[in-house]
Structure 1
């Protein structure tokens, strides 16, 4: 029996986090076993993450053909909707992915492996994971298993639906948060837009309120679909969410011009098309999930609601801090007028579509880390964290270069308004304009009858 506690990974006092970050950096692009596993999870996840922003880019392109006022109005509404959504989305999805990956990894450990590990370490899986596994997860488990079960009560029979308590918990929380979000945004659309800088006399208020109210009807579908995507990512299955998201977004792109121009609904048509696409994604994911997971636990006490709330609260603080910056920027742009807000909307959507590629790496790292820790494979956990950090840095540098050079020529896809194009050029990190030309463009925006500009 080992004298030291095997519940924690061995630590090298001479190693610092920065040294671990550069560990085996020469293998960052190597397609070894770990590299292939990361790629197989990250690539479909990245495509799924970017599918919705790309659909939003198409929405932006269509709306930009109506006029800069409508483009600016939709930009404010999307910024507000995203601020409220992400407060719930990222904690929910992240916690779901980790919990499901942990439960699935433990549930797939064979009884022989459990007995062998118990003899070697002198402890059981239950005792070593007592802080992670709730006390009410007894040997019988929350589901009536037909074969030996793990400490989570996850059915091990292949070709049978698994009992994953976190999956049911995520759907319950997602549905409740979605209804709360829809009620909050619909009832407070006008005062929230006023707070964002869209005054009662602004030409943006009408289309912004219409778009926000209609799009808020899809909030329950958004939260539910993302909760289910978190479940599939916990299974290391990122292809199913990709297929569902692509199907929904293609539907959105097809319905956009029909509702906006054929039916003459304008920005309302764009919102309706987006809502329908979100409910289609939810239906596809639910249909696929019901084939793999038993979503009806025997009673509510078997749900991991308390653990979701405790762990999600920590992530919530980080998400609020990050999204608040974007929302504040949108509010300041809206106060500058429709031209500034339209340019901000284009830049923001392009940035989101590209930056979310890195989230595919985050999903891969999260799923592999949770599984590795559940199996006590700490060497793989360290290697995974190092590899994902290195790939993230490399991808970030590449995306910065692509954005700086590509948006100069691609901005005309979203608008033909000369003033908006000028503002977009100012927001590009690598701009063809010199500092003097940028200054000349900014001075008219800062000038007022009482303040003729900055000298």
Structure 2
């Protein structure tokens, strides 16, 4: 509970709640749809897997890059004016020294006489923390990365919507939903309607990346809660009262996403100049260079989960329904660790910009320690909760039996998942995008091979064993990078940055 711990918690707690809010809303969607029937539940599960895959491919690289770049620009923007003031102050002192012909002893501050290396000017980290509110009140911030992120988010959202609407049937077929499957019709309805919300989803996530760069995770939380509460209220109205079924669930979700976008845009316009003075200020080259690296990474990450969902769908509607419930719980609980990842990324990006490597080391160690504690707590809560509460999602005895088989995997992997997700945030904060991309491609290759082998021999259980292997390899990749002191972490080995 020292200053660093409190700073992490101030960022991580609202971020975790915001990240968990949407999966929780999806869980409530799943509970409502599960009341219609197992076929509809399985159909929606396949559609959500497709939509999430497309969204992560398009937005995850953008959000991750935006948070780091905005944090760096915002920090440097606060440091530069103070550095100029310090320089002017030193010049003024030097001039006064010449005029008054003071001795060296009169000029040197008392703390330097005692051998201290401190300066009369405040450190950049103190400047940033104490002047942040003043700078915001003086006027809107000029953050080129923010404008770039919004433009790219809008374009990617429109492209994703067009791709999903016109490619829905083909994508469902690839996922194992055949033309004569009872899942096809409800899955097609849900995916097509939900795709209309893609522009709002991508734009809102891009804005969340900007706010995270400002270390403001409360604003995205408020907006997300408002949108998800709207979704929860509209779900029973559209699904049951208006008898729209899975279409009603999709419509409710889309409306909630547009509400979130409007709230975030309204708040962002008060803080940032969204229109840059000229096009040269935009940083498309910088975004695209690192974006393609993370694009390869996110394809590798999500392909494993999507492939697992596809294999579960091939087992039939009952295994797919059970897998969907377990997967939603698995992802919802695991994403709580992303709150710590967001905090680590924002703090580390600022610390690297300030070249405060002592804080880099301390923050990275602290968030990893917190992630392990969180993972152990989640393992207990998720294991007990899902074992005794699976009846909330379905009344089908066969589905409940398969859920009970998946519970040990969902619960036991929580500590591994938490550490793996936080390592992602730590490496993103260090702008170590290349390593995260290359290592994840190797991890995905090994995991996909395990998935095919174990699926053929063990079916439903084999899928979950393969997903456990996948998360363990992700965790090991993060441990190796920091443990060997390579890349941006070489200062851990050399104690200084070249």
Same fold, judged at TM 0.5 (above): yes
1:333/1:344 contact within 8 Å kept: yes
CA 1:428 to 1:175, structure 2 compared with 1: closer, same or farther past 3 Å?
same
Q: Is the 8 A contact 1:107 1:156 kept in 2?
A: no
Indicate yes or no: 2:416 matched with 1:416: no
Q: Do the aligned residues in 2 keep the contact of 1:161 with 1:291 (CA within 8 Å)?
A: yes
Whether 1:178 aligns to 2:178 is no
| 1:66 equivalenced with 2:36 (yes/no) | yes
Secondary structure in 2 matching 1:202 = coil
The reply on whether 1:254 has 2:207 as its aligned counterpart is no
Structure 1 position 284 matched with structure 2 position 263: yes
What's 1:203 paired with? 182
* Larger fraction in helix: 2
Deviation of 1:163 after TM superposition, in Å, equals 0.9
**C-alpha contact 1:425 1:431 (8 A) present in aligned 2:** no
Q: CA deviation at 1:443?
A: 9.7
Aligned partner of 2:139 among 160, 177, 181: 160
1:428–1:308 distance in 2 versus 1, CA, 3 Å: same
Cα pair 2:319 2:460 within 8 Å, conserved: no
Q: Which residue of 2 aligns with 1:133?
A: none
Q: Residue in 2 aligned with 1:50?
A: 20
- CA drift at 1:319: 1.4
1:302 to partner: Cα distance: 1.2
- Residue 436 of structure 1 corresponds to none
1:314-339 per-position Cα deviation (integer Å, ceiling 9, x unaligned): 22222111111110011011111110
Local SS of the residue matching 1:415: coil
Give the Å deviation of 1:114. 4.5
Query: C-alpha separation between the residues in 2 aligned to 1:177 and 1:416?
Result: 39
TM-score, structure 1 normalization: 0.79
Flag as ranges the 4+ runs of structure 1 deviating above 6 A: 117-120, 442-446
Q: TM-score if structure 2 supplies the norm length? A: 0.72
Q: What is the match of residue 246 of structure 2?
A: 267
Deviation at 1:119?
12
Cα RMSD for the two superposed structures = 2.2
Give deviations 1:35-74, integer Å, cap 9, x for gaps. Answer: 0000000000000000000000000000000000000000
Contact 2:382 2:410 in 1 (8 A): no
Higher relative contact order, chain-length normalized (CA < 8 Å, sep 6+): 1
| Superimposed CA distance per residue, residues 358-401 of structure 1 (whole angstroms, 9 cap, x where no aligned partner) | 00001101111111111121111111111111212222222223
- CA 1:310/1:331 → structure 2, altered by over 3 Å: closer, same or farther? same
Give the unaligned 5+ runs of structure 1: 1-30, 121-154, 433-441, 447-455
**Aligned with 2:312 (options 323, 330, 333):** 333
Decide whether aligned partners of structure 1 residues 156 and 431 sit closer, same or farther in structure 2, where only a CA change above 3 A counts: closer
Q: Tell me whether 1:315 sits opposite 2:294 in the alignment.
A: yes
Task: State the distance in 2 between where 1:211 and 1:118 align.
Answer: 62
Contact 1:194 1:200 (8 Å CA) reproduced = yes
Establish whether residue 428 from structure 1 lines up as the match of residue 407 from structure 2: yes
Asked whether 1:79 is paired with 2:49, we answer: yes
Deviates more, 1:420-429 or 1:41-50: 420-429
- Correspondence 1:37 to 2:7: yes
Give the Cα–Cα distance (whole angstroms) in 1 for the partners of residues 278 and 80 of structure 2: 27
Describe the superposition over 1:230-283 as per-residue Cα deviations: whole angstroms up to 9, x where unpaired: 001110000000000000000000000000111110000000000000000000
Q: 1:91–1:418: structure 2 CA closer, same or farther, 3 Å change rule?
A: same
